[in-house]
């Protein structure tokens, strides 16, 4: 009886994904235990919610997700408009919407809603894709991105933009067009520069030469590279990172948690983390390749690459090769919303995996 | 463009999945390369930077060395007291914070002013005192409210204290908070590291001259700090080495007798032990209380001291240059003997004046001193004798001889900023003046130089040194205030060995003539009244220096304004047979040397040689005890 229930409970769960996710959660708990032990309880609560969401979503068949794609997207865009009009301002940015009973960050929702919407769109137009469809897809993509950039939230807009782009890419956007757009983007970059907020420009400038302003805007990057570099091959040991423990690392439980991990576990630790991410992403790409429908394939591929984007951008910025944009280390950084979103993505991947084509060709 | 074939689309999708996978691997490899760069190749660099972040060297200021008089009485010491300090960089609103503190701790307007001044002057914005010497109750009151005042703290600090207050202030000097100018000197001496935690620096006097000896060696604590600079724990500690103690040649009680003898009068006294050059007392009046400077002097006090017409901040012993008046005569007489221009018994008929080219140089005695030999010229202080003598010697011979005695050059005493004075000569005048007609030396000018007037201007310490050298039969020592330096760690004493600077080319028989005459001064001459019934044989010479050129009008002590009155001078040594003490005394606007300066010398000799205190003076010990409380 219990065994049956258990079997039923774990049935939608993909073993390999769950193992990789479990390893990441383990690292998250270990690192948080050093970076900010006081937050462990809340982290456990976040994990409980996120894993529940994942388990529920894993059971939802991709077809039903497809039906939900358009409504979720529309609601998401409306909420973003709502944020722009009535949102709460915190730390100079308007990101939150207070619905009376709950405060939500609609941009977060978009990270999932966007690939769903685009995958749905391409599924609808399957077998007769024209260039026009890519143009429409781009429009669908840019509306919410523009709203998020305006909040301003560079990190989330990059994630949403890339999530949408991944779908379009997997949908077969011709290379010619891609390179053409790339060239156009490069030309437009100087104009885009003028559109950026001051603090966003500063972040990019600081990246180029953090030492120029060691106590001001360069402080984060300098201190995190010192943390990583001083970690060495084997790290200083759990709870022994001086940069982390003596408060030299800013945001050490959120965006910069990688620096804490890296300082205490060294290059070996970094290698293990990279391998886990690579395995998780590999599994996701495999799920995409085996997915039953175009919608599933596109969604799975895009979601997987989102995990990659999170990981790469975060580790890149903390180690000083990318600008500081507010992107957390996936499944490790503290932050309930991001964790729920990410686990939601994992849940979708699991659902797609369970509903894959059983026989290929 | 269109994909009719689903199979083709699927293949394309799988290709792109593979491309994405490859891209992911490339990016991760890139990250890994970055980690290798930071954690392996650059590891040492970042390791060092992390350590620099974490470990802060906190200097521990050493105890400043003590200054002790020749008999072991402490003249400058340290005591520990609590101060309330503000770190301006950690306080958002200074005014508000100070107002908040003032609610439960007495903060007077002068404290605020001083704080403001420190804030402006201080280059190191680490921690500045708003209140010093808190009572235990005030400390307790602050501690109870500490959480309300980030950036404000109580510190136990050592303060300098000069137990005898104003006595010997010009000898000791004072310390004050380090200013930018002091920082320059610290840099020059290349001791910045040793002064990292030090707030105070010797400003004048011995505190300044022996700053490096008194300061000691800073210790330091290796402290682990967090990003906010808060100390987490101590990793290592190197104890500071206290500054060395100075034992002076000064006899503080003698100093006090001398200063009291001046009373309200301005002037200076330097007493030297002839056999060593050790300074027994060095007075400059008015004095000031060096304790005022220790916590940062208030603007009002500073103004009072600096703007006073009495100029209490000027060390007259080293920086006051005065015409020596008749105290110059013994040296003139010695010059005459040495150069062979006069024999002691050679007589001069003094009609009461000396006519030089139609200009009458007057004697102070109407009708003159009659027949004058060298002895009488000194005992009675006959001007005409020296007018003639100066004319016979010529200015350059006078200058050459007087230079041997140190007139017109710094004595090299161990206090900064000594003046040179003026030893007039043809060369000097040429250098001193710009216009050719002013540069020429006139023979008439030599004549007033002969009686210690004219361009002559010497510091009291030069006079005292000359007196001591004569008393010591021509063996000259550098005057000095420190007898020995005690290394506080090893207790080893480094003596300032009294090395003779030079032995003057003088004949003992000539010296004896002068000495005999100076003994005569105190027995039957101008100093006799002051040294009546002394109980020891002393030698001296009075002097009166004109401040005011009379130009024909008759000098009348009562009608001339106080600040234009003559300076009163006296040089002396005792006992005559084996000199233990030589002095130069100057009383500004004191009138005749015999009236003002000589009695002061008498009191000093009485105390030093006989232990006798002048009538009415408080016992020195009692005064010291008062200052202690």
B485-529 residue pLDDT tens: 998 888 888 888 777 888 999 999 999 999 999 999 989 988 888
Helix B109-121 × helix B299-307 angle, to 10°: 80
Q: How confident is the model at residue B2 (pLDDT cuts 50, 70, 90)?
A: very low
Q: Give the pLDDT band of residue B602 (cuts 50, 70, 90).
A: very high
CA torsion B303-B304-B306-B309 (nearest 10°) is: 140
Q: Quick one: CA torsion of B179, B185, B186, B189, rounded to 10 degrees? A: 180
User: What local confidence, expressed as pLDDT, does residue B179 receive?
Assistant: 81
Is the Cβ pair A248, B226 closer than 8 Å? yes
Residue pair B252/B74 in contact (Cβ under 8 Å)? The answer is no
Scanning every residue of chain B, which has its alpha carbon at the shortest distance from the alpha carbon of A292? B10
Question: Counting every residue, how long is chain A?
Answer: 361
Question: Which pLDDT tens digit goes with each residue over B57-113?
Answer: 778 888 899 999 999 999 999 888 888 888 887 787 888 888 888 888 888 888 888
- Shortest alpha-carbon distance between residue B23 and chain A (Å): 10
A117, pLDDT greater than 60: yes
Which among A292, A279, A245, A247 has a CA at the least distance from the CA of A264? A245
Q: Residue B308: what pLDDT?
A: 85
Nearest to B38 among A229, A281, A301 (CB): A229
Q: Would you call B28 an interface residue with chain A, using a CB distance cutoff of 8 Å?
A: yes
Residue in chain B lying closest to A231 (CA): B39
pTM of the model: 0.67
| Closest C-alpha among A272, A290, A299 to residue A164 | A299
| Cis ω before A152 (30° cut-off from 0) | yes
Cβ A248–B228 below 8 Å, yes or no?
Answer: no
Judging contacts by C-beta atoms under 8 Å, the chain A residues touching residue B12 are 172
- Name the pLDDT band for B557 (thresholds 50, 70, 90): low
Per-residue confidence (pLDDT) for residue B626, from 0 to 100: 43
Give me the total of CB pairs closer than 8 Å, taking one residue from chain A and one from chain B.
139
Subunit contact A274:B28, Cβ cutoff 8 A:
yes
B122 is catalytic: no
Alpha-carbon distance B629 to A99, whole Å?
74
ipTM: 0.93
Asked if the C-beta of B231 comes within 8 angstroms of chain A's C-beta atoms, the answer is no
Residue B486 in tokens = 């005690």
- DSSP annotation of B504 reads -
Mean of per-residue pLDDT scores for chain A: 87
Q: What is the pLDDT of residue A231?
A: 93
For chain B, what is the mean pLDDT? 86
Superfamily of chain region B57-248? Penicillin-binding protein 2a (Domain 2) (3.90.1310.10)
Q: Check B39 against A285: CB less than 8 A apart.
A: no
* A chain contacts of residue B42, beta-carbon cutoff 8 Å: 229
State whether A319 and B34 contact (CB < 8 Å): yes
- Strongest mean pLDDT among A20-34, A161-175, A312-326: A20-34
Distance (Å) of CA A347 to CA A46, A63, B20, B315:
16, 14, 21, 90
Does B618 score more than 80 pLDDT? no
What's chain A's Rg over C-alpha atoms? 21
Q: Quick one: pLDDT at residue B550?
A: 44
The SS3 assignment for A95 reads strand
Band (pLDDT 50/70/90 cuts) for residue A59 is very high
- Domain ranges, ordered by start, for chain B: 57-248, 252-622
Rounded to 10 degrees, the C-alpha dihedral B362/B365/B369/B370 comes to 70
Residue numbers of A between 305 and 334 with CB closer than 8 Å to B: 305, 308, 312, 315-316, 319-321
Q: What is the average pLDDT across A228-249? A: 89
Shortest Cα distance from B59 to chain A (angstroms)? 21
Q: Does B553 touch chain A (CB under 8 A)?
A: no
| Rounded distance between C-alpha atoms, residue A290 and residue B299, angstroms | 87
DSSP structure class, residue B607: I
Nearest CA in chain A to B7: A361
Per-residue pLDDT tens for B148-186?
A: 888 888 888 888 889 888 898 999 999 888 888 888 888
How many Å apart are CA B302 and CA B118, to the nearest integer? 14
CA distance A64 to A72: 12
Same topology, domains B57-248 and B252-622? Answer is no
CA distance B194 to chain A (A): 27
Query: Cα-flanking dihedrals φ and ψ of residue A80, to 5°?
Result: -65, -40
State how far Cα A209 lies from the chain centre: 27
The model's confidence at residue B22, banded by pLDDT at 50, 70 and 90, is very high
Asked whether the predicted pLDDT for residue B16 surpasses 50, the reply is yes
In whole angstroms, give the CA distance from residue B335 to residue B399.
Answer: 10
Task: Name the residue of chain A whose CA is nearest to B35's CA.
Answer: A267
Average pLDDT over residues B257-273: 92
Q: Specify the fold of B252-622.
A: Beta-lactamase (3.40.710)
Flag if A229 and B4 touch (Cβ within 8 Å). no
- Tell me which residue of A210, A221, A134, A142 sits closest to A169, measured CA to CA: A134
Which backbone phi and psi does B129 adopt, to 5 degrees? -75, 135
Q: Is B12 on the interface with A (CB under 8 A)?
A: yes
B17 touching A (Cβ < 8 Å): yes
pLDDT tens-place string over residues A40-55? 999 999 999 999 999 9
């Amino acid at each position: 009886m219990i065994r049956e229930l258990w079997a039923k409970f774990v049935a939608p769960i993909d073993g390999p994904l769950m193992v990789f996710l479990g390893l990441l959660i383990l690292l998250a708990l270990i690192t948080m235990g050093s970076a900010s032990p006081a937050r462990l309880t809340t982290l456990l609560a976040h994990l409980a919610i996120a894993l529940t969401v994942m388990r529920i979503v894993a059971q939802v068949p991709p077809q039903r997700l497809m039906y939900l794609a358009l409504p979720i997207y529309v609601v998401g865009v409306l909420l973003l408009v709502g944020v722009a009009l009535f949102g709460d301002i915190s730390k100079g940015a308007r990101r939150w919407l207070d619905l009376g009973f709950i405060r939500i960050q609609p941009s977060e929702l978009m990270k999932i809603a966007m690939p769903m919407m685009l995958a749905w769109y391409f599924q609808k137009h399957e077998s007769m894709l024209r260039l026009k469809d890519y143009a429409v897809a781009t429009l669908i993509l840019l509306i919410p991105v523009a709203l998020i950039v305006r909040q301003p939230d560079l990190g989330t807009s990059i994630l949403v933009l890339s999530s949408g782009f991944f779908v379009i890419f997997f949908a077969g956007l011709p290379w010619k067009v891609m390179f053409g757009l790339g060239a156009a983007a490069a030309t437009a970059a100087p104009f885009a520069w003028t559109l950026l907020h001051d603090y966003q420009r500063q972040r990019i400038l600081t990246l180029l030469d953090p030492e120029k302003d060691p106590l001001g805007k360069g402080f984060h990057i300098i201190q995190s590279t010192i943390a990583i570099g001083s970690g060495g091959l084997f790290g200083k040991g759990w709870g022994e990172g001086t940069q982390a423990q003596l408060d030299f690392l800013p945001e050490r439980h959120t965006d910069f948690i990688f620096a804490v991990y890296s300082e205490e576990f060294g290059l070996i630790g970094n290698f293990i983390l990279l391998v886990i991410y690579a395995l998780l992403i590999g599994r996701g790409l495999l799920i995409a390749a085996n997915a039953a429908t175009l919608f599933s394939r596109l969604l799975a591929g895009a979601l997987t690459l989102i995990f990659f984007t999170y990981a790469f951008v975060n580790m890149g910025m903390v180690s000083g090769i990318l600008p500081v944009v507010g992107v957390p280390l996936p499944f490790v950084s503290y932050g309930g919303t991001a964790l729920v979103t990410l686990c939601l993505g994992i849940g979708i991947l699991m659902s797609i995996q369970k509903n894959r084509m059983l026989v290929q060709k | 463009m269109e994909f009719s074939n689903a199979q083709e689309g699927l293949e394309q999708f799988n290709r792109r999945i593979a491309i994405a996978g490859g891209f992911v691997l490339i990016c991760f490899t890139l990250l890994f390369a970055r980690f290798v760069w930071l954690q392996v190749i650059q590891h040492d660099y970042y390791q060092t930077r992390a350590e620099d972040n974490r470990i802060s060297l906190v200097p521990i200021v050493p105890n400043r060395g003590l200054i002790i008089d020749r008999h072991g009485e402490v003249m400058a010491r340290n005591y520990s007291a609590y101060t309330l300090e503000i770190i301006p960089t950690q306080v958002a609103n200074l005014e508000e914070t100070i107002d908040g503190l003032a609610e439960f701790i007495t903060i007077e307007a002068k404290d605020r002013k001083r704080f403001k001044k420190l804030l402006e002057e201080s280059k190191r914005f680490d921690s500045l005192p708003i209140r010093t010497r808190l009572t235990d109750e005030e400390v307790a009151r602050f501690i109870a409210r500490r959480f309300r005042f980030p950036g404000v703290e109580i510190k136990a600090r050592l303060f300098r204290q000069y137990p005898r207050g104003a006595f010997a202030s010009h000898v000791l000097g004072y310390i004050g908070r380090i200013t930018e100018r002091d920082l320059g000197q610290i840099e020059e001496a290349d001791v910045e590291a040793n002064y990292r935690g030090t707030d105070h620096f010797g400003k004048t006097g011995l505190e300044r001259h022996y700053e490096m000896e008194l300061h000691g060696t800073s210790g330091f604590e290796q402290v682990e700090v967090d990003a906010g600079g808060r100390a987490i724990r101590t990793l290592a500690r190197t104890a500071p080495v206290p500054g060395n103690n100075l034992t002076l040649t000064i006899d503080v009680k003698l100093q006090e007798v001398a200063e009291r003898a001046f009373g309200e009068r301005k002037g200076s006294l330097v007493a030297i032990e002839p056999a060593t050059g050790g300074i027994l007392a060095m007075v400059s009046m008015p004095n000031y209380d060096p304790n005022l400077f220790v916590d940062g002097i208030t603007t009002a006090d500073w103004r009072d001291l600096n703007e006073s017409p009495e100029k209490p901040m000027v060390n007259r012993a080293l920086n006051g240059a005065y015409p020596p008046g008749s105290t110059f005569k013994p040296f003139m007489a010695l010059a005459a003997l040495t150069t062979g221009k006069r024999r002691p018994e050679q007589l001069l008929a003094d009609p009461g004046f000396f006519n030089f080219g139609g200009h009458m140089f007057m004697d102070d005695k109407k009708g003159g001193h009659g027949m004058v030999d060298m002895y009488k010229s000194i005992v009675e202080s006959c001007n005409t004798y020296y007018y003639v003598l100066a004319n016979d010697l010529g200015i350059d011979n006078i200058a050459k001889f007087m230079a041997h005695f140190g007139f017109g050059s710094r004595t090299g005493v161990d206090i900064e900023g000594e003046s040179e004075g003026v030893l007039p000569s043809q060369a000097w005048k040429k250098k001193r003046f710009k216009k050719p007609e002013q540069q020429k030396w006139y023979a008439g000018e030599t004549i007033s130089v002969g009686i210690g007037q004219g361009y002559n201007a010497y510091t009291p310490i030069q006079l005292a040194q000359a007196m001591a050298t004569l008393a010591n039969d021509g063996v000259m020592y550098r005057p000095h205030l420190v007898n020995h330096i005690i290394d506080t760690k090893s207790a080893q004493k480094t003596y300032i060995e009294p090395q003779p600077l030079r032995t003057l080319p003088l004949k003992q028989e000539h010296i004896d003539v002068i000495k005999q005459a100076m003994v005569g001064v105190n027995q039957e001459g101008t100093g006799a009244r002051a040294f009546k019934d002394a109980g020891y044989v002393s030698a001296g010479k009075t002097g009166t220096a004109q401040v005011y050129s009379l130009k024909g009008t008759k000098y009348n002590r009562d009608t001339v304004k106080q600040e234009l009155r003559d300076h009163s001078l006296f040089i002396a040594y005792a006992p005559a047979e084996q000199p233990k003490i030589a002095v130069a005394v100057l009383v500004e606007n004191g009138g005749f040397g015999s009236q003002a300066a000589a009695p002061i010398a008498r009191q000093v000799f009485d105390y030093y040689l006989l232990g006798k205190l002048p009538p009415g003076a408080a016992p020195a010990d009692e005064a010291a005890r008062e200052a202690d409380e």
